[in-house]
């Protein structure tokens, strides 16, 4: 009961911070203040909230659950690949987005695309695909919230209620606190988790009688593969380096890039980002692996038994029974179970609150959706002029509530793990959209038709992945089902974590085909006007670009 | 020349992610419990941070910030 009360107390603090403590919208800058905190975030809040926005249920519960089943490979797949690619994209793309946003007053990425490619409806298509792809990311936040509250409360708060509580809390402070509230809540949450993550490692290590003996026992067991990467092919491992391309293409991250007071605030963020990733992921992955030796925790022993039955009787089990065993063997809650068993009751509550902190990064996605709908659809199609500013805000919130309800019901029924949902749909989709940003900022030859082809190809791919995953159920860990082979070559294979194409994660063909379509279709179609291209790619030493600025302006160059 | 060296350094760090030499073994264990495939990638994150420091020091797009402050008639209200 005490841990539950601590977590609910924490939720109350979060609502207070988000709604009351940092609400400062006044007068004519109200819209920019609500959506972008008046582009005024300082260096510490910018780093912590940007980092916190990326550290979701995926990073905490998803990573430990994936490591529980697959071992230490999880860190290399996601954490270290992200440690290089995410800050690199922030430096190359984020700074340019910030500069363009500051100069032209953009609030969303679609506004940038519409201006850059002189288009209206193609921007709307991009908005629709971005909004649809954000749904899986919102779903994992709800799955994480439901799982956390259920385990921390010892089952008193069921999964469906926990997910609903988290969704309500997040929507409350996002709707009332806007970007400023969201940023401060994220800063508070990230700091909390960074502190408690380290405490969790010490407490659980102490409780398990030291990690050294646990690792030695694991190395001597049939599960020794968890300490190496022998079950993963180097090609599959390599393909994960494409996943972090999604980060900068996520609308909530692109929008976050616009909130910095000065561009120099990117400096510290870019340098410290890899260290923050290691600090969050190392305890989660390591504890996820160590959970395989926590056989004195009854719920974990049940998971291990279920996994063993699945592996031993693969193919012989009826469909329903196999699905039930897969659900029982899922590891999204192992970190919470370790805390519940090994930490003192008050500390388990605090650590649970720390985990809840990271899980609730859904806030940025909800705010981004509200911002995008309000700006890219309602205001763009003259809704603001016809129905007024109040209707604009209400419609944006109604859109988000509708989408969140859809996400909630999907979260209640989804059989896949947090890690699989995030990687297969959200990350793959947004990585596929990254060529749009790169082409808009770095290639003067790109066109709206290229952007449309690229966007539609991503949507088709993600729908295809979802369809195959729905038709072919996941095999037990370590096994695979060949879905499509040609001339003896396995083209499409269903694994526990999702699909693989030619031995690669689907994200690789998605990104390459999206980039290829952008290239080919742009070369075959009409470019935007020379004036627009000159605004984004002014010639150095040439005539002044539009607006009479000096010719040295270097957006996108 | 400086740009080429920075690009080369970035590509080298990207390539180092593929540490096939620690693929099938857990040893050497750091502190007696951290498997090689794990501590190597924690070290990799530190290396990525050093690379980022190098990039922001030698390839910072400062011109963008100065240009962003310029007034523009096309700015949205």
Please tell me if residue B10 touches chain A, with a CB cutoff of 8 Å: yes
For residue B53, list chain A residues with Cβ-Cβ distance below 8 A: 271
For residue A81, list chain B residues with Cβ-Cβ distance below 8 A: 17
Q: Supply A224's token pair.
A: 């020794």
In whole angstroms, what is the distance from residue A281 CA to residue A197 CA? 9
For the cut 50, the answer to whether the pLDDT of residue A228 exceeds it is yes
For A368-387, the pLDDT digits (tens) are 888 888 889 988 888 777 87
Kindly identify which residue of chain A lies nearest to residue B42, measuring between CA atoms: A278
Residue A252 phi/psi, 5° resolution? -70, -30
Identify which of A483, A513, A332, A516 has the alpha carbon closest to the alpha carbon of residue A422.
A332
pLDDT at residue number A550? 32
For the cut 80, the answer to whether the pLDDT of residue A1 exceeds it is no
Is A343 or A362 the better-scoring residue by pLDDT? A343
Is there a domain that residue A491 lies in? no
User: pLDDT band for position A28 (50/70/90)?
Assistant: very low
**Where do we find the tokens 């966007």?**
A455
3-state secondary structure of A59: helix
| Percent with pLDDT over 90 in chain A | 31
Average pLDDT of the residues in A404-432: 80
For the cut 90, the answer to whether the pLDDT of residue A432 exceeds it is yes
User: pLDDT band for position A180 (50/70/90)?
Assistant: confident
Q: Supply A319's token pair.
A: 């469909």
Distance from B19 to chain A by nearest Cα, in Å?
9
DSSP string across A68-133: HHH-THHIIIIIIHHHHHHHHHIIIIIHHHHHHHHHH---SHHHHHHHHHT-SHHHHHHHHHHHHH
DSSP string across B21-77: GGTT--PSPBTTTB-HHHHHHHHHHHHHHHHHHHHHHHS--HHHHHHHTS--TT---
Is A61 or A451 the better-scoring residue by pLDDT? A451
Helices A334-342 and A159-207, interaxial angle, to 10°?
60
Among A48-57, A333-342, A444-453, name the one with the lowest average pLDDT: A48-57
Identify which of A361, A365, A22 has the alpha carbon closest to the alpha carbon of residue A190.
A361
Element (H, E) at A493: strand A489-495
Q: Supply B54's token pair.
A: 């190098």
In whole angstroms, what is the distance from residue A117 CA to residue A440 CA? 8
User: pLDDT band for position A416 (50/70/90)?
Assistant: low
- Selecting from A83, A224, A554 the residue whose C-beta is nearest the C-beta of B67 gives A554
User: pLDDT band for position A479 (50/70/90)?
Assistant: confident
Is there a domain that residue A317 lies in? yes
Mean pLDDT score of chain A: 83
Identify whether residues A428 and A538 lie together within a single domain.
no
Tally of domains in chain A: 2
Kindly identify which residue of chain B lies nearest to residue A238, measuring between CA atoms: B18
User: pLDDT band for position A542 (50/70/90)?
Assistant: very low
pLDDT at residue number A22? 56
For the cut 70, the answer to whether the pLDDT of residue A546 exceeds it is no
In whole angstroms, what is the distance from residue A240 CA to residue A247 CA? 13
Identify which of A341, A4, A357, A50 has the alpha carbon closest to the alpha carbon of residue A149.
A4
User: pLDDT band for position A557 (50/70/90)?
Assistant: very low
User: pLDDT band for position A551 (50/70/90)?
Assistant: very low
Average pLDDT of the residues in A68-73: 92
pLDDT at residue number A361? 66
For the cut 90, the answer to whether the pLDDT of residue A162 exceeds it is no
Strand order in the sheet with A481-486: A481-486, A489-495, A498-501
For A31-56, the pLDDT digits (tens) are 666 667 667 677 777 777 777 777 77
Is there a domain that residue A490 lies in? no
Identify whether residues A412 and A272 lie together within a single domain.
yes
pLDDT at residue number A30? 63
Domain boundary residue among A411, A433, A455?
Answer: A433
Residue A553 and residue B70 in contact, taking contact as beta carbons nearer than 8 Å: yes
Among A88-92, A195-199, A336-340, name the one with the lowest average pLDDT: A195-199
In whole angstroms, what is the distance from residue A83 CA to residue B52 CA? 10
Q: Write the DSSP symbol of residue A414.
A: -
Parallel, antiparallel, or unpaired for β A498-501 and A481-486?
unpaired
Interchain contact, A278 vs B52, CB within 8 Å: no
Interchain contact, A274 vs B52, CB within 8 Å: yes
Identify whether residues A313 and A426 lie together within a single domain.
yes
- Selecting from A84, A267, A275 the residue whose C-beta is nearest the C-beta of B14 gives A84
Residues in chain B: 77
Is there a domain that residue A199 lies in? yes
pLDDT at residue number A498? 78
Interchain contact, A87 vs B17, CB within 8 Å: no
Interchain contact, A547 vs B60, CB within 8 Å: no
pLDDT at residue number A314? 67
Domain boundary residue among A405, A433, A461?
Answer: A433
pLDDT at residue number A520? 97
Identify whether residues A53 and A202 lie together within a single domain.
yes
pLDDT at residue number A549? 40
When mean pLDDT is compared over A59-63, A221-225, A363-367, A473-477, the highest value belongs to A221-225
Q: Supply A109's token pair.
A: 């990425």
Identify whether residues A150 and A274 lie together within a single domain.
yes
Q: How far apart are the first and last CA of chain B?
A: 43
pLDDT at residue number B73? 54
Is there a domain that residue A483 lies in? no
Provide the residue range defining the domain that includes A533. Answer: 528-557
Identify which of A505, A436, A502, A431 has the alpha carbon closest to the alpha carbon of residue A465.
A505
Is there a domain that residue A477 lies in? no
pLDDT at residue number A23? 57
The domain segmentation of chain B, as residue ranges, is: 2-60
Helices A43-54 and A265-290, interaxial angle, to 10°?
40
3-state secondary structure of A115: helix
User: pLDDT band for position A415 (50/70/90)?
Assistant: low
Parallel, antiparallel, or unpaired for β A481-486 and A489-495?
antiparallel
Identify which of A245, A239, A279, A240 has the alpha carbon closest to the alpha carbon of residue A90.
A245
For the cut 90, the answer to whether the pLDDT of residue A75 exceeds it is yes
Residues A511-529: b if buried by 16+ CB within 10 A, e if exposed: bebbbebbbebbeeeebbe
User: pLDDT band for position A552 (50/70/90)?
Assistant: very low
- Interface probe with B: pick from A27, A278, A292, A384, most Cβ of B within 10 Å: A278
Residues A187-215: b if buried by 16+ CB within 10 A, e if exposed: bbbbebbbebbebbbebbbebbeebeebb
pLDDT at residue number B49? 97
For residue A120, with 0-12 CB atoms within 10 Å meaning exposed, 13-18 middle and 19 or more buried, which class applies? exposed
Torsional sign, CA A392, A54, B9, B50:
positive
Interchain contact, A278 vs B46, CB within 8 Å: yes
Element (H, E) at A501: strand A498-501
- Interface probe with B: pick from A28, A73, A99, A281, most Cβ of B within 10 Å: A99
pLDDT at residue number A109? 93
Residue A61 and residue A335 in contact, taking contact as beta carbons nearer than 8 Å: yes
Residues in chain A: 557
Q: What is the CATH number of the domain that holds A269?
A: 1.20.1730.10
For the cut 50, the answer to whether the pLDDT of residue A315 exceeds it is yes
pLDDT at residue number A312? 81
pLDDT at residue number A494? 86
Please tell me if residue B54 touches chain A, with a CB cutoff of 8 Å: no
pLDDT at residue number A31? 64
3-state secondary structure of A499: strand
pLDDT at residue number A8? 81
DSSP string across A298-348: HHHHHHHHHHHHHHHTTTTS-HHHHHHHHHHH--TTHHHHHHHHHS-HHHH
Please state the ipTM of this predicted complex: 0.92
Interchain contact, A270 vs B69, CB within 8 Å: no
CB-CB neighbours of A216 under 10 Å: 15
Which residues in chain B come in under a pLDDT of 70? Answer: 70-77
pLDDT at residue number A20? 67
pLDDT at residue number A554? 38
Q: pTM for the full model? A: 0.86
Is there a domain that residue A484 lies in? no
Q: How many angstroms separate the most distant Cα atoms in chain A?
A: 74
Domain boundary residue among A391, A416, A433?
Answer: A433
- What residues have CB less than 8 Å from A267, skipping those under 6 apart? B56, B60
**Where do we find the tokens 């719920």?**
A299
Identify which of A465, A417, A445, A412 has the alpha carbon closest to the alpha carbon of residue A522.
A445
pLDDT at residue number A382? 80
Interchain contact, A84 vs B48, CB within 8 Å: yes
In whole angstroms, what is the distance from residue A394 CA to residue A383 CA? 12
pLDDT at residue number A370? 83
Is there a domain that residue A119 lies in? yes
Is A231 or A182 the better-scoring residue by pLDDT? A231
Identify whether residues A187 and A294 lie together within a single domain.
yes
Is A354 or B8 the better-scoring residue by pLDDT? B8
For the cut 60, the answer to whether the pLDDT of residue A541 exceeds it is no
């Amino acid at each position: 009961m005490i841990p539950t009360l601590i977590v609910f107390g924490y939720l109350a603090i979060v609502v207070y911070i988000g709604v009351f403590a940092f609400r400062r919208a006044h007068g004519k800058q109200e819209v920019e203040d609500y959506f972008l905190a008046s582009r005024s975030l300082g260096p510490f809040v910018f780093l912590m909230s940007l980092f916190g926005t990326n550290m979701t249920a995926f990073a905490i519960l998803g990573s430990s659950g994936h490591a529980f089943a697959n071992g230490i490979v999880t860190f290399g797949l996601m954490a270290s690949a992200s440690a290089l690619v995410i800050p690199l994209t922030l430096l190359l793309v984020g700074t340019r987005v910030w500069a363009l946003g500051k100069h032209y007053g953009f609030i969303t990425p679609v506004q940038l695309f519409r201006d850059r490619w002189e288009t209206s409806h193609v921007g709307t298509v991009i908005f629709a695909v971005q909004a649809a792809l954000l749904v899986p990311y919102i779903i994992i936040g709800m799955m994480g919230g439901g799982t956390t509250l259920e385990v921390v409360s010892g089952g008193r708060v069921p999964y469906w209620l926990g997910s609903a509580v988290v969704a309500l809390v997040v929507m409350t402070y996002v709707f009332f606190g806007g970007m400023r509230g969201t940023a401060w809540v994220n800063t508070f949450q990230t700091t909390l988790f960074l502190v408690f993550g380290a405490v969790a490692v010490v407490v659980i290590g102490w409780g398990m009688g030291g990690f050294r003996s646990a690792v030695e026992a694991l190395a001597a067991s049939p599960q020794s593969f968890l300490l190496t990467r022998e079950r993963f092919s180097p090609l599959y491992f390599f393909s994960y380096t494409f996943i972090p391309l999604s980060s900068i293409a996520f609308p909530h991250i692109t929008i976050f890039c616009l909130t910095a007071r000065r561009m120099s605030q990117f400096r510290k963020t870019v340098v410290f980002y890899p260290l923050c990733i290691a600090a969050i992921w190392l305890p989660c992955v390591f504890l996820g692996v160590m959970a395989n030796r926590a056989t004195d925790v009854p719920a974990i022993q049940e998971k291990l038994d279920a996994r063993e039955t699945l592996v031993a009787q693969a193919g012989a089990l009826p469909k329903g029974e196999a699905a039930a065993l897969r659900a029982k063997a899922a590891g999204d809650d192992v970190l919470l179970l370790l805390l519940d068993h090994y930490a003192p009751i008050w500390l388990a509550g605090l650590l649970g609150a720390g985990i809840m902190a990271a899980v609730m990064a859904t806030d940025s996605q909800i705010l981004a959706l509200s911002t995008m709908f309000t700006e890219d659809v309602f205001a763009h199609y003259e809704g603001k002029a016809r129905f007024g500013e109040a209707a604009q805000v209400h419609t944006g919130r109604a859109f988000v509530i509708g989408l969140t309800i859809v996400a909630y019901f999907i979260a209640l029924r989804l059989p896949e793990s947090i890690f699989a949902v995030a990687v297969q749909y959200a990350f793959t989709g947004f990585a596929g959209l990254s060529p749009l940003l790169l082409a808009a900022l770095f290639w003067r030859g790109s066109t709206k038709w290229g952007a449309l082809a690229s966007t539609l190809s991503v949507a088709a791919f993600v729908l295809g992945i979802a369809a195959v995953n729905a038709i072919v159920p996941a095999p037990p860990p370590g096994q695979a089902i060949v879905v499509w082979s040609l001339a003896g070559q396995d083209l499409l294979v269903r694994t526990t974590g999702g699909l693989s194409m030619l031995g690669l994660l689907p994200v690789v063909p998605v990104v390459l085909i999206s980039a290829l379509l952008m290239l080919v279709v742009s070369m075959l179609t009409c470019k935007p006007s020379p004036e627009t291209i000159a605004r984004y790619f002014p010639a150095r030493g040439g005539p002044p670009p539009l607006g009479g600025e000096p010719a040295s302006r270097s957006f996108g160059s | 020349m400086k740009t080429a060296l920075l690009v080369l350094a970035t590509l080298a760090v990207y390539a180092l992610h593929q540490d096939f030499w620690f693929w099938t073994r857990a040893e050497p264990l750091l502190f007696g419990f951290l498997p090689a495939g794990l501590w190597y990638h924690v070290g990799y994150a530190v290396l990525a941070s050093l690379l980022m420091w190098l990039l922001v020091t030698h390839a910072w797009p400062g011109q963008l910030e100065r240009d962003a402050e310029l007034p523009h008639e096309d700015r949205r209200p």
